[in-house]
Amino acid sequence: MSYLKPLFSHPKLPKNKLGYTLKEYEGSLSTLCAGCGHDSISAAIVRACFELSIEPHLVAKISGIGCSSKTPTYFLGNSHGFNSVHGRMPSVATGANMANKELVYFGVSGDGDSASIGMGQFVHVIRRNLNIVYVVMNNGCYGLTKGQDSATADRGSKNKSGSVNPFEAIDLASMAIELGASFVAQSFSGDKQQLIPLLKAAIQHPGFAFINVISPCVTFNNNPGSTKSYDYVREHIEATSALDFVPVKKEIRVNYAEGASAEVGLHDGSKIHLNKLSMDWDPEDRISVVNALQNAKVKEEILTGLLYVNTDWKDLSRTLNITDSPLNRLKESDLCPGTEELQHINEGFR
Amino acid sequence: MKPTNTRDPEYYHKVVDCQYACPAHTPVPEYIRLIAAEKYTEAYMINWESNVFPGILGRTCDRPCEPACRRVRVEKEPVAICRLKRVAADQKGEVKSLMPQGPFASNGKKIALIGGGPASLTVARDLAPLGYEIHLFDEQIAGGGMMRSQIPSFRLPETVLNEEVDYILDMGIHTQFLTYVSSLKDVLSKKYDAVFVGTGAPRGKDLPKLPGRKDGAAGIHIGIEWLASVAFEHTKSISPKVIVLGGGNTAMDCCRTARRLGGKDVKVVVRSPFKEMKASPWEKEDAMHEDIQIFDNHVPLSFEVKDGKLIGMKFQKVRAVYDEKGKRELIPTDEPEVLIEADEVLVAIGQQNSFPWIERDLGLDFDEWDMPVVDRKTFQSTLPKVFFGGDAAFGPENVITAVAHGHQAAVSIHLFCQGKDLLDRPSPFTNLVSQKMGIHEWSYDSQIAADQRYIVPQARKSITLKDRKKEVELGFDIQTAYKEAQRCLNCDAQTVFSEDRCIECDACMDVCPTSCITFTANAEEDELRQNLLVPAENKSQDLLVSDTLKTGRVMIKDEDVCLHCGLCAERCPTSAWDMQKYFYSVTKAYQIPASLPAIQK
Ligand SMILES: Cc1cc2nc3c(=O)[nH]c(=O)nc-3n(C[C@H](O)[C@H](O)[C@H](O)COP(=O)(O)OP(=O)(O)OC[C@H]3O[C@@H](n4cnc5c(N)ncnc54)[C@H](O)[C@@H]3O)c2cc1C
Ligand SMILES: Cc1ncc(C[n+]2csc(CCOP(=O)(O)OP(=O)(O)O)c2C)c(N)n1
Ligand code: SF4
Ligand code: SF4
Ligand code: SF4
Ligand SMILES: [Mg+2]
């Protein structure tokens, strides 16, 4: 068993604008099961950050507990990280975000971590529109504790031991839209072509960006009868759109399948190009999105791609009017306004 | 692209870069692992089987394997393949009992070998176990050819040479040393079943038309003749000021030998720029380390003679100019002629073949350059009974090439003596075996060592320059040999892919440290090479292409910079990837299975 990654890399590995190669965005060698979908998501995050030329030291990865929550060790090894308590990632991420809004935040969670023990925190962080990329690596089970059904396991889905799940599944994407998430997407760990541009758009989105990624657990939930297996997902996947993320000022048009095309602008000037595959759906209209999701459910399809985006809502730091400069850079003169100003403030309360 | 045919024995062979580049296709990684495991005897025998002279080659081989080593493409310096071979030879135990044991039952056939260099000796070794009666003729006092007469003892001690020559001669070879063969017709009249010509390229080139050549003759020597006369102890000293003309390995051996025989001020003068000299880089380094100056871009004009005695040489300085095709021309500069003083000059500007002893009316054709017409595959001449190999076949090369020729010529001779088709050659022996020992365990050390190449220690110059027989290189000690061996990437541990098992989870693609693996839509090779994670620009390295997978894509692996680290196979949930050791061995004459008796109806 190898514990270390070889130090050598391809001598012709491309470099990004910062002069870094993918290597500078990788983490240590994964200890997850071979073939775990979570590893592919890690690789997609590595690539998205590399392609956006994000400074690794300006990223913070916050996670809960689970195989999914372990992944921050396996990507962005040069970034900040906090492996918090089961289901409590959102509060730690909120605190960090309020203290320093200059960083790119990844909230990394699992279906157990977010839809069971962490449900309370999950719904509130959405309501508040925290500026974070919130990734749920959704395998329909508690992988780390040996594969018990999770709250996102579909009713009727069979697990490895043969028992059939009798409960209705929580649909995290619908729920996020309902609760007012400003960016909601769904994807599949086995489809990097879709996942990478989604991640790039989510990183650039100023507010809560939720991506529910179906990510097969090869060890406990990849059996026939499971609705989160590689085979099942590949057979039932349906994309809303073929999309490409276009960073600021760089107009690249990708050729995708024919169909109507839409363009969503982000405030920093970047754009998301969408070539619609599914009709009667408009990513800026919540009702059409909820309809599309419900229709897909009836047809036993897994709808993937960018589902909903709204760039007008204020994120938490703007709502609370948090200082732009990180707390660790505030000097005494910023924090202590002086006697005169203090008196002035006190006057206001009399 | 079509799915790769990995059943073609050459596909995986080519992945083992060193072995593929070795003219004799020595299974390099196999013996390097044995050295790391302290199994020196076994490592020696793997070598002996393939290249016949492990101790000699471990010191003197031209090492075509090293520039080919994969390590060059991912790091900088190749594995010290050659010097590890020497470790196997230095540390081995008793090996003779592991070699074919005579006396061999006679098969009634008689073969003559003319010349006793590595080519002939290889033919002898490969044929003797089959029961051939072998007669070897050489004009020298003992076997070994130029390994004895040319390669100086400070690079190749006589004991090492004798040991490995004797392993062969002891197999019952009939030797006739001090016998110059002056007529092939004579030999043919002696009713041999086949004749092998391994007489080398024995004539050193001269500069007969250069002014002063005749007058200065007493102080001017042909390099290879001079080296031979040193080796056989006819020449024991040289004057203090020496010029060596030429930039190849012979020039390096001449100048270094001169330093040991009394040359104080020894200069190598060469026409070409330093970088383009034919000598191996390590030989140039060794020469300069022994205080030898190298003057490049100097074209000889004349030998300068005063009072009947050589006093030096005049040269014209030139500079190299290249046309678009890269062809070089040496253009004289306007600097004045240069006079370099010398008491003696060694002319080491190349060797030639010469066959004055082969009559031209025997039906053995010679080409326009007066070289025998020899088939590149079978080594047969136009006189069916007569075969050539080594430097005699296609001009001067090196020991390992002579050995490779010898193996093939022996196969041809054996087929010929049985009346079989020489073009129906035995296929190589191959074997592909999984190295899986447990879920994530491999039977080889899959960890990649980042160590840089280790340097072989040398004896002190103050000692080696005093004694021409004192070996300069001391060889790796066991600990360093182990560390150097660990640098080998085990390129024979092949990444074998079974598409029917792949679930396309991308794990292998994500984990591969050198971005070798891509899952993508199929296309023609040129397009595909561009569509990979990192474009596969090194076309000399193949792509491993799978059959179409479930999602309609194909798996493409660029073999170029694969580290054989096994991570793809470790991270594969279904064992669609497996690390399998590929053993490839050229079939030697004595390994050709005897034909089965005809079945009577
Ligand atoms: C100075 C020098 C240094 C070299 N160093 C190296 C080195 O470090 N590494 C390397 O790999 N190669 C080296 N070589 C090249 C190498 O020695 C030859 O390529 C190799 O020995 C060729 O082997 P062969 O069997 O073809 O013939 P040779 O080794 O040349 O043997 C031919 C033999 O045939 C004998 N012979 C010739 N004609 C007759 C005849 N008519 N009758 C009887 N006997 C005859 C000769 O005396 C000789 O013994 C060097 C060559 C030179 C000149
Ligand atoms: C407070 C607390 N309760 C329970 C556990 C046990 N536990 C560890 S991981 C886990 C479920 C993780 O499931 P998920 O978030 O889906 O991660 P996965 O392993 O499937 O990626 C549970 C219940 C715990 N670590 N802490
Ligand atoms: S148990 Fe499942 S989720 Fe956890 S590492 Fe293994 S495959 Fe992945
Ligand atoms: S790394 Fe080892 S097996 Fe690979 S080419 Fe170099 S010596 Fe040969
Ligand atoms: S063995 Fe596999 S993982 Fe390692 S370098 Fe080669 S292809 Fe990549
Ligand atoms: Mg889970």
Tell which of B326, B351, B376 closes a domain. Answer: B351
Residue B599: the pLDDT is 80
Cβ–ligand 2 distance for A214 under 6 Å, the answer no
Token reading at A277:
């595959």
Q: Would you say residue B66 has pLDDT above 90?
A: yes
* Rounded distance between C-alpha atoms, residue B277 and residue B287, angstroms: 13
Give the mean model confidence (pLDDT) for residues B35-49: 98
Span B227-261, pLDDT tens digits: 999 999 999 999 999 999 999 999 999 999 999 99
Mean pLDDT, rounded, of chain B? 96
Q: List, for residues B131-161, the tens digit of each pLDDT value.
A: 999 999 999 999 999 999 999 999 999 999 9
Give the pLDDT of residue B440.
Answer: 82
Encode B123-143: b = buried (16+ Cβ within 10 Å), e = exposed: bbbbbbbbbbbbbbbbbbebb
Domains of chain A are 22-319 (3.40.50.970)
Let me know if residue B77 belongs to a domain. no
pLDDT tens track for B464-480: 999 999 999 999 999 99
B233 lies in the same domain as B165? no
More confident residue, B551 or A274: B551
Q: Is residue B275 part of a domain?
A: yes
Same domain for B249 and B297, yes or no, is: yes
Q: Is the pLDDT of residue A275 over 80?
A: no
Q: Which of A157-161, B155-159, B291-295, B457-461 has the lowest mean pLDDT?
A: A157-161
> Are both B255 and B277 inside the same structural domain?
yes
Does B140 map to a domain? yes
What average pLDDT does this structure show over A141-156? Answer: 96
- Candidates B473, B429, B405; CA nearest to B55 is B473
The predicted pLDDT at position A251 comes to 39
Confidence at residue A258, expressed as pLDDT on a 0 to 100 scale: 43
Of B351, B377, B401, which residue is a domain's last?
Answer: B351
pLDDT at A9 exceeding the cut of 50:
yes
In a domain, B186, yes or no: yes
Q: Report the Cα B481 to chain-centroid distance in Å.
A: 21
Distance CA A192, CA B515 (A): 16
pLDDT tens for each residue of B435-456: 999 888 899 999 999 999 999 9
Has residue B507 been placed in a domain? no
The answer to whether A7 contacts B504, with C-beta atoms less than 8 Å apart, is no
Task: Kindly report, residue by residue over B348-404, the tens digit of the pLDDT.
Answer: 999 999 999 999 999 999 999 999 999 999 999 999 999 999 999 999 999 999 999
Is B396 part of any domain?
yes
User: CB of A143 closer than 6 A to ligand 3?
Assistant: yes
Q: What pLDDT sits at residue B326?
A: 87
Pocket test for ligand 5, best of B564, B570, B580 (most atoms within 8 A of CB): B564
Of A311 and B72, the structure prediction assigns the larger pLDDT to B72
Token readout for A232 is 């099942």
Output the pLDDT for position A266: 67
Is B551's CB within 8 Å of A234's CB?
A: yes
pLDDT at A249 (0 to 100): 44
Q: Which helix or strand (DSSP H or E) is residue B430 part of?
A: strand B429-434
Q: Which residues contact B519 (CB under 8 A, 6 or more apart)?
A: B504, B506, B509, B549, B553, B554, B555, B556
For residue B515, give the chain A residue with the closest CA: A10
- B214 and B343 in a single domain? The answer is yes
Cβ-based interface (< 8 Å): residues of A facing B: 1-2, 4-14, 22, 29-30, 33-37, 39-40, 42-43, 189-190, 192, 216, 218, 230-231, 234
In this prediction, residue A260 has a pLDDT band, given cuts at 50, 70 and 90, of low
User: pLDDT of B81-137, one tens digit each?
Assistant: 999 999 999 999 999 999 999 899 999 999 999 999 999 999 999 999 999 999 999
How far apart CA B428 and CA A14 sit, in angstroms, is: 40
Query: What CATH number does the domain containing B270 carry?
Result: 3.50.50.60
Q: Indicate if B237 and B285 belong to the same structural domain.
A: yes
What pLDDT is stored for residue A337 in this prediction?
83
The partner residue sitting opposite A1, judged by closest CB among B441, B506, B573, is B441
- What is the mean pLDDT of the segment spanning B8-14? 98
Give the model's confidence band at A145: pLDDT under 50 very low, under 70 low, under 90 confident, else very high: very high
B192 in a structural domain: yes
Residue A110: which pLDDT band, with cuts at 50, 70 and 90?
A: very high
Of B351, B366, B399, which residue sits at a domain end? B351
Residue B489 Cβ < 6 Å to ligand 4: yes
Neighbours of B64 (CB within 10 A): 15
Q: Look at residue A252 in the predicted model and tell me its pLDDT.
A: 35
* C-beta of B224 in contact with ligand 1 (< 6 A): yes
Give the distance (Å) from ligand 5 centre to CA of residue B4.
Answer: 18
Give the mean pLDDT of A241-265. 55
Q: How confident is the model at residue A65 (pLDDT cuts 50, 70, 90)?
A: very high
Where residue A31 falls (left for φ over 0; alpha for ψ -120 to 50; beta otherwise) is: alpha
Domain assignment present for B172: yes
- Kindly state the percentage of chain B with pLDDT values over 90: 97
Say whether both B255 and B358 belong to one domain.
no
Domain range for B408 is 100-202+353-417
Identify the pLDDT of residue A256: 40
Is B147 found in the same domain as B277? no
Quick one: pLDDT at residue A270? 74
Which tokens is B567 given?
């991570």
What are the Cα distances from residue B390, in Å, to A135, A181, A334, B268?
A: 67, 79, 86, 28
**pLDDT of amino acid A274:** 62
Residues B28, B41: Cα–Cα separation, whole Å: 15
Q: Name the strand (E) or helix (H) holding B434.
A: strand B429-434
User: How many structural domains is chain B composed of?
Assistant: 2
**pLDDT value for A276:** 60
Quick one: pLDDT at residue B37? 97
Ligand 2 center–CA A230 separation, angstroms: 22
Is residue A245's pLDDT more than 70?
no
pLDDT band per the 50, 70, 90 thresholds, residue A250 = very low
B121 and B141 inside one domain: yes
